[in-house]
Amino acid sequence: MANVLDAPALQEILHTAFPGADVPRIEAVDEDSVTLRQAVGDRHVRPGGTLSGPTMMMLADTAAWMAILAQIGPVVLAVTTSLHIDFLRKPALADLLAKATVLKLGRRLAVVDIGIFSQDHEQLVAKAQVTYAIPSTHSESPPQ
The Cα 144–Cα 141 span in angstroms is 9
Other CB atoms within a 10 A radius of the CB of residue 136 amount to 8
Residue 77 lies in a domain: yes
Residue 23 lies in a domain: yes
Task: Say which CATH number the domain at 27 has.
Answer: 3.10.129.10
| Residues 16-66 pLDDT 10s | 999 988 899 999 999 889 999 999 877 777 787 788 888 999 999 999 999
| Residues 100-144 pLDDT 10s | 999 999 999 999 999 999 998 889 999 999 999 999 865 444 443
Residue 122: per-residue pLDDT: 87
Residue 142 lies in a domain: no
Identify the residue with better confidence: 92 or 68: 68
Residue 126 lies in a domain: yes
Residue 139 lies in a domain: no
Residue 109 lies in a domain: yes
Residue 50 lies in a domain: yes
pTM above 0.85, yes or no: yes
Provide the domain limits for residue 20.
7-133
Contact 63, 99 (CB under 8 A): yes
Residue 11, C-beta contacts closer than 8 angstroms, at least 6 positions apart: 23, 25, 26
CA distances from 138 to 29, 43, 82 (A): 21, 36, 21
Q: Indicate the number of domains in the chain.
A: 1
Residue 45 lies in a domain: yes
Where residue 93 falls among pLDDT bands split at 50, 70, 90? confident
